[in-house]
Chain A
Amino acid sequence: MLLAGGQGSRLLALTKNVAKPAVAFGGKFRIIDFALSNCANSGINTVGVLTQYRPYVLHSYIGTGAAWNLDEDDGGVSILPPYETESGGSWYAGTADAIYRNLDYILQNDPEYVLILSGDHLYNMDYAKMLAAHKKNNADLTVSVMPVDWSEASRFGIITKANDDAILKFSEKPKEPDSNLASMGIYIFSSKELIAALRKDAKDEKSSHDFGKNIIPDMLAHKKRLFCFEFNGFWRDVGTISSYFETNMALLGENPEFNLYADDAPIMSNAPTTPSQLIGEKARIENAIVANGVRIYGDVENAIISTAAYVAENAEVKDSILLPNSCVWEGAIVHNTILGERSVIDPGLVVGSDSDETTVIGNDVIVDKEYLEKLIADGKAPRPSSYKKAKSTIKKAVAQKGGGQK
């Protein structure tokens, strides 16, 4: 059961018109690729995807699940949006409520175990290993955990465990954590226990119907068999602009923290048909990921250039992420910026600051001087670093708008 209904409001303009799991990542991917690929690579062929916020892009991207080899007769991908019943309808109230309201789906498939995942986490994990641990421990619930920095521990659900991995204590965002093992929001339940716990929780009017806040503490209190499973690979919840930005950048470098190139379990994606990428004569590309369909004629450094994006001659893109089909016109300078899908930076414009603050441009925007001034005036973007300090070779833009594939 893949929870993919969240808005991801802290991703600001990036999720204004798409759900967070459908936000592009790492050049050719979208965030949900990781959870779906992990399922497929772990041998899970029945996946319910719970959607709610701005679902169109997400739904059409998932399609039949064929891109992840999940278009199977027996199981496959089912999209599970909130629905009306004879007694009315409402939005999913919390993670547990979302699953509870799709109990029919679980009962119909009648699995022995249910894996509950978030659609907005970036990692490559074999859930089969976690399931093996769950079975070995004869557990009712297994929670995947990973060690985090002590300084960060109070941001997470923190687990205190015994030597045999049994969970002794679970505290949601504790002020004074007594462990640094954080819950990754990945749960394997034995079906019977899940169904019982959800039915009980649904009757509790005081509950906020959340796994971390309600279900796990209640199961612990009732002496259920709760175990944890430690994961030591790369895992990120890209909840904020800075974590989204940093996780993209973690793909870069010769020994990247998040290595997609040396793994036997490929991350699959429903990538569109585009031509080969084309690197022009005067292009300079260092430390970058560049997807298919991209044309680069300018300078690119420390950047993620997503599918079919365009960097014109004399343009400079540094410490930035260009999302699919975005475009930086001739002579424009883009630093420390996330440029939304299909958005365009006008010729010669300077966007982004060399301070810590990332400039975020949403989808489908034409960024001209006026638009940028308004963003800055509204406090939505930092003032660009001194125009003089920027690349000395800015030429007066001569690029014709409307050229290329645009």
Chain B
Amino acid sequence: MKHIVGLLTTNYLSTSQSEITSRRPLAALPVLGRYRMLDFALSNMVNAGIKTVGMILPLNYRSIVDHVKSGKDWALDRKHAGLFYLPGTPYGLARRGDGRFLLRDFLDNRAFLDRERDSYVVVSGGSIIYNMDYLPLVEEHIKSGADITVVTKPATMETSGLISFSISEDGCVKDYKKGTKPGDTAFLDTFVVSAEKFLELLDLYQALDHLDLFEAIASEKTLVSVQAFEYDGPAFPVFSLQELYSISMALLNPELSGLLFDWARPIHTKAHDNPSAKYEPGAKTSYAMVSGGSIVAGTVENSILGRHVVVEPGAVVKNSIIFENCIVKKGAKLDHVIVDKNNIIPEKTELKGTREHLAIKEKQMRPPKASEFVF
């Protein structure tokens, strides 16, 4: 097997305009309590034995770098190889969720590919929740002799974020369109290409550098052979707040999250030094994910709590997602709410959304003081 390197692209925002998803890069969106979206693709790379990962950053990279830092939690803090932060172009943010594989971003970072000339490159976006073994993908790619092999999965729902392919009988990609409908062959934003071929393609498409790689390929279909590789594990694309919500709720199901969190291929995330979650006498919890440092004294039902969230006595959190460093004060009631970081929900506040129209509490800049977490 040839050497494999990873390339993770994070230079894009959400297509939806909600504050929670539009302020931060989609790859840095907190999910399932203690993860960020990019943890999944990055862990997949590391779990495939990949030791060199380039990460193309958006201009607003603070939250990504704060999360990944030296790559230590993914064992990517190597003396040789390891994690390489690659600057993305400003253009990424302008195109929002559209264009995860901008040619400009790749062209600006040719140096990374030049160094890895003899390797295969597994390229992934940072907004799919999945746990995939990349090795069969690379093997299949080598066997088929295609220029590019893309990871696909039959779409089960309508999305606007993903793109879908039409595939010929021999598994070749014939055409592509934006969005998926049930039954379409959805592109999971993951592909493999040899570095050599990748560099060739970059030369070929240099004049079209304002396009996404796949837009460029679609414009001259005969030039590049693209093979599809179907992935049969769980995959959940998150491009909007609605998708974040429905997927989070779905993953409260033990069977589904059991499939995702395969113990043989752990999803790594930034380690925090907080004590384990604590449940007080009188607490009621069911169907919940509760993260470290959190204290539950009230009721938490069908909900996900990030790190360091306090639900005070008499407070009720239902069908909601609460990001890290929040306090739900005594008697407050939340139903169908997404609470972004650093919020204090005052006593007896009632916030109620619906599945279609979630109530939102936007991020506060300053986390509550340690003394405020005591009730």
> Residues on A close to B: CB < 8 A?
26-29, 37, 66-67, 251-254, 260-264, 266-269, 271, 273-292, 295, 297, 300, 306-307, 404-405
Cα distance A118–B161 in the bound complex, in angstroms: 56
Indicate whether A274 sits within 8 Å of B280 (C-beta atoms), given known contacts A254-B297, A260-B275, A280-B287.
no
Known contacts A261-B373, A291-B277; is A273 also within 8 Å of B285 by CB? no
4 pairs of A and B residues whose beta carbons are closest in the complex? A27-B276, A275-B261, A291-B276, A260-B275
Q: Which residues of B contact A263 (CB under 8 A)?
A: 370
Give the residue name and chain of the B residue nearest to A37 (CB).
Answer: B273
Interface string of B257-271 (1 = CB under 8 A from A): 110010100111101
Q: How many angstroms between the C-alpha atoms of A263 and B285 in the bound complex?
A: 26
Q: In the complex, what distance in Å separates the CA atom of A286 from the CA atom of B279?
A: 6
Q: What are 15 inter-chain pairs, A to B, with CB distance below 8 A? A: A26-B275, A27-B275, A251-B275, A261-B275, A262-B374, A278-B252, A278-B254, A279-B287, A280-B286, A280-B287, A285-B283, A288-B279, A289-B275, A295-B254, A404-B258
Interfacial chain B residues near A66, Cβ < 8 Å: 72
Given contacts A254-B297, A279-B289, A281-B286, contact A264 B266 (CB under 8 A): no
Residues of chain A lying within 8 A (CB to CB) of residue B325: none
B99 on interface, CB distance cutoff 8 Å: no
Complex CA distance for A282 and B285, rounded to whole angstroms: 9
Are B279 and A274 within 8 A (Cβ)?
Answer: no
Bound CA span A78–B271, Å: 23
Q: B283 contacts which of A37, A281, A286, A292 (Cβ < 8 Å)? A: A286
CB of B10 within 8 Å of the partner chain: no
Q: Please name 7 further chain A to chain B contacts, defined as beta carbons within 8 Å, in addition to the given A253-B281, A262-B370, A279-B285, sorted by A numbering.
A: A27-B277, A66-B72, A276-B32, A291-B277, A292-B276, A292-B292, A404-B258
How far, in Å, is A283 (CB) from chain B's closest CB? Answer: 6
With a cutoff of 8 Å between Cβ atoms, the chain A residues found around residue B371 in the complex are 262
In the complex, B344 has a CB within 8 A of chain A: no
Tell me which residues across on chain B come within 8 A of A405, comparing CB atoms.
263
Q: Please name all residues of chain A whose beta carbon is closer than 8 Å to the beta carbon of B274 when the two chains form the complex.
A: 266
Bound complex: CA A263 to CA B286 (Å):
29
With A266-B273, A278-B257 known as contacts, the answer to whether A283 contacts B295 (CB < 8 A) is no
B318 at the interface (CB under 8 A from A): no
Minimum distance in angstroms from B318 CB to a CB of chain A:
13
Query: Which residues of chain A are within 8 angstroms of B73 by Cβ–Cβ distance?
Result: 273
Question: Which chain A positions have C-beta within 8 A of B290?
Answer: 276-277, 279, 290
**Are A283 and B286 interface neighbours, CB within 8 A?**
yes
**A273: min CB distance to chain B, Å:** 4
A276 and B276 form a contact (CB under 8 A): no
Asked if A276 and B34 sit within 8 Å, CB to CB, the answer is yes
Q: Report A-chain residues with C-beta under 8 Å of the C-beta of B129.
A: none
Cα distance A282–B284 in the bound complex, in angstroms: 11
Residues of A within 8 A of B296 (CB): 285
Asked whether B33 is an interface residue with its Cβ less than 8 Å from the other chain, the reply is yes
- A277 cross-chain contacts in B, Cβ below 8 A: 277, 289-291
B289: A residues at CB distance < 8 A: 276-279
CB closest chain-B residue, reference A403: B258
Say whether B280 contacts A253, CB under 8 Å: yes
In the complex, how many angstroms separate the beta carbon of A285 from the nearest chain B beta carbon? Answer: 5
Beta-carbon nearest neighbor of B283 in chain A: A286
Q: Does B331 contact A (CB under 8 A)?
A: no
Closest residue of chain B to A279, judged by CB?
B288
Nearest CB on B from A35, distance (A):
15
B361 at the interface (CB under 8 A from A): no
Q: How far is the CA of A19 from the CA of B73 in the complex (A)?
A: 26
Pick the most buried of B33, B273, B375: most chain A CB atoms within 10 A of its CB: B273
B280 A281 Cβ-Cβ under 8 A: no
| A287 in contact with B374 given A275-B267, A280-B254, A292-B292 (CB within 8 Å) | no
User: Is the Cβ of B271 less than 8 Å from the Cβ of A271?
Assistant: yes
Interfacial chain A residues near B277, Cβ < 8 Å? 27, 277, 289-291
Is B181 part of the contact surface with A, judged by Cβ < 8 Å?
no
Is B368 at the interface (CB under 8 A from chain A)?
Answer: no
Distance from A50 Cβ to chain B, minimum over Cβ atoms (Å): 25
A269 touching B279 in the complex, CB below 8 Å, given contacts A276-B32, A277-B289? no
Pick the contact of A273 from B32, B267, B287, B370 — CB < 8 Å? B267
- B71: Cβ under 8 A from any A Cβ: no
* Beta-carbon nearest neighbor of B73 in chain A: A273
* Residues 226-237 of chain B, each 1 if its beta carbon lies under 8 Å from chain A, else 0: 000000000000
